[in-house]
A and B are shown apart, each in its own frame.
Chain A
């Protein structure tokens, strides 16, 4: 089962392709795509839709997982923009054959990966050495990997 994990922000989208199982996941690759500079908002959203559509057509994932905004950060314009970007990601994915999507915050990811429902356990109880280059990834890419890993069967 191929899963794409996304960590969306206002000006970029980090995503990773993950396959295998929860016990034995394989990170195929991870990328960061930056939204084009100086685009109007409407053009950025359309650009993002096209970009995610192309990724989904190319990779044909079974499902996608999105790292949701932490509850404390759910305020302000940047949150609204991030939410709009996430919506576009979901819309592009489901119109291109993806059957389901998940949105998870750190606590839920930790619960699924370590059995303990607190964000701090992602730092303390999770062995990420299973991914050879995990430490070299950016923080957004790491979050994309973890959310994708948490939805693997």
Chain B
């Protein structure tokens, strides 16, 4: 009893950061070391492995890496809950950063490289994450990506009852097609999920089609969810091929390991990011960086399209890029030309 009392005052819980099925996460001060941390409180009845309450913490410790969130401590919080004390990352998660939209393509690439490095390390320790998604990727102080939430990374998951997860629509949308029960989960399934996560990051959640929960598994098996043919116009073909390979429903055609996937991504050169905005009758893209300022406007008038591309190297007014300025063209030509210029700028090939 005395021990519990001491435990309950170890953390000064300051602010609730979030809550979910498995419990709550608090911004707290650990009184003993006077250090700020994030404390996850999990009720006993929500712990997946009832035989070992501290398995998530043990997995985190085993997977310790600069791209995996650091575990500081674990134990009983009170009679009904356990706690996991972890490093507090003030930049929160990638889901907070993206807020449903897309992330700058160069940043998405770097973050995915970080995530794959963390995953590679976890896989080397024979740990499968099983729940990679933007909400479980935290942003470190140097803006690096860190894998978090190893709640499903349990070694003997086949023996556990996970029926409740099958009712979670969000989770089902990320599940690899070959996984019909948790025992089927493999390293390759984690790679598939990284592909889906990357797709979400570079396109935004609006590119995920809305599908009835009953049909979602079949759509995933048929490679219709996410839609492999639909990417933002500026996403280069090399990056589309990379993402589609990671999301290939056929396990043998995916990347063989997180390391292979990471090396493949590292070799895709991306230099510029486009800002995208809607106009009443079209779209507008702009970028500024090492290439100078470039703008592209695609507008429609009476069923015909106009493309206006402008560039400025240093100071001075924006000048038309004659090669890419076209008047009164059809939609197909307009789409093709816009894609060409946007992708060339992203890859520094203009």
Using a CB–CB distance below 8 Å, which chain A residues touch chain B?
33-34, 36-38, 43, 46-47, 50, 54, 58
The reply to whether B120 and A36 form a contact with Cβ atoms under 8 Å apart is no
The reply to whether A50 and B117 form a contact with Cβ atoms under 8 Å apart is yes
Shortest C-beta distance, A142 to chain B (Å), equals: 22
The reply to whether B106 and A38 form a contact with Cβ atoms under 8 Å apart is yes
Selected contact of B271 from candidates A38, A47, A58, CB within 8 Å = A38
Q: Mark B266-290, 1 if CB is under 8 A from A, else 0.
A: 1111110000000000000000000
Known: A36-B113, A38-B106. A54 touches B121 (CB 8 A): yes
Selected contact of A50 from candidates B66, B267, B270, CB within 8 Å = B66
The reply to whether B110 and A43 form a contact with Cβ atoms under 8 Å apart is yes
Residues of A contacting B267 in the complex (Cβ-Cβ under 8 angstroms): 34, 36-37
Residues of A contacting B121 in the complex (Cβ-Cβ under 8 angstroms): 54
Residues of B contacting A50 in the complex (Cβ-Cβ under 8 angstroms): 66-67, 117
18 more CB-based (< 8 A) A-B contacts, given A54-B120, A58-B124: A33-B263, A34-B266, A34-B267, A36-B113, A36-B266, A36-B267, A37-B266, A37-B269, A38-B106, A38-B269, A38-B271, A43-B110, A46-B142, A47-B113, A47-B266, A50-B66, A50-B67, A54-B121
Using a CB–CB distance below 8 Å, which chain B residues touch chain A?
66-67, 106, 110, 113, 117, 120-121, 124, 142, 263, 266-271, 348
**In whole angstroms, what is the CA distance A39 to B162 when docked?**
42
Shortest C-beta distance, B270 to chain A (Å), equals: 6
- How many residue pairs, one in A and one in B, have C-beta atoms under 8 Å apart? 26
Measured CB to CB, the nearest residue on chain A to B263 is A33
The reply to whether A38 and B348 form a contact with Cβ atoms under 8 Å apart is yes
Shortest C-beta distance, B30 to chain A (Å), equals: 27
Measured CB to CB, the nearest residue on chain A to B110 is A43
Q: Enumerate 17 A-B pairs (CB-CB under 8 Å) in ascending A order.
A: A33-B263, A34-B267, A36-B266, A36-B267, A37-B268, A37-B269, A38-B106, A38-B270, A38-B271, A43-B110, A46-B142, A47-B113, A47-B266, A50-B117, A54-B117, A54-B120, A58-B124
**In whole angstroms, what is the CA distance A54 to B114 when docked?**
13
Residues of B contacting A58 in the complex (Cβ-Cβ under 8 angstroms): 124
**In whole angstroms, what is the CA distance A43 to B268 when docked?**
15
Measured CB to CB, the nearest residue on chain B to A36 is B266
Residues of A contacting B67 in the complex (Cβ-Cβ under 8 angstroms): 50
The 8 A-B residue pairs with the shortest CB-CB distance in the complex, in nearest-first order: A37-B269, A36-B266, A38-B269, A38-B271, A38-B270, A50-B117, A37-B267, A34-B267
Shortest C-beta distance, B55 to chain A (Å), equals: 23
